[in-house]
Amino acid sequence: MRRYTIILTPEDDAYLVGVPALPNVHTYGRSVDEALANAQEAIELYLEVLRDEGSPLPEDIQTATVEVAA
């Protein structure tokens, strides 16, 4: 299983999500749980597209942290 660091940033009425190891993966949710679920789906879809294109998958990142920026 690949694990990626996810950064959650609270904004007004939503949480923005970025995945540093996958620069094109960004999403959001109205709650932390929704944002994390959306991030999981975005990561899975991104990796699926890379596989379909025959592109190399990014290196594994051995941390599974959630960082909430103030």
Say if 58 falls within a structural domain: yes
Say if 1 falls within a structural domain: no
Q: Which amino acid is at 17?
A: V
Give which of 2, 1, 49 is closest to 24, Cα–Cα: 49
Say if 36 falls within a structural domain: yes
Confidence check: pLDDT of 2 > 70: no
For residue 55, give the CATH number of its domain.
3.30.160.250
Question: What is the rounded distance in angstroms from the CA atom of residue 69 to the CA atom of residue 61?
Answer: 20
Say if 54 falls within a structural domain: yes
Range of 61's domain?
6-68
Q: Please name the residue ranges forming H helices in 1-70.
A: 32-53
* Residue scoring higher pLDDT (23 or 25): 25
pTM for the full model?
0.74
pLDDT digits 0-9 by tens, 25-62: 999 999 989 998 999 999 889 989 999 999 988 775 54
Q: How confident is the model at residue 70 (pLDDT cuts 50, 70, 90)?
A: very low
**Contact between residue 5 and residue 22 where contact means Cβ atoms under 8 Å apart:** no
Question: What is the rounded distance in angstroms from the CA atom of residue 5 to the CA atom of residue 3?
Answer: 7
Say if 56 falls within a structural domain: yes
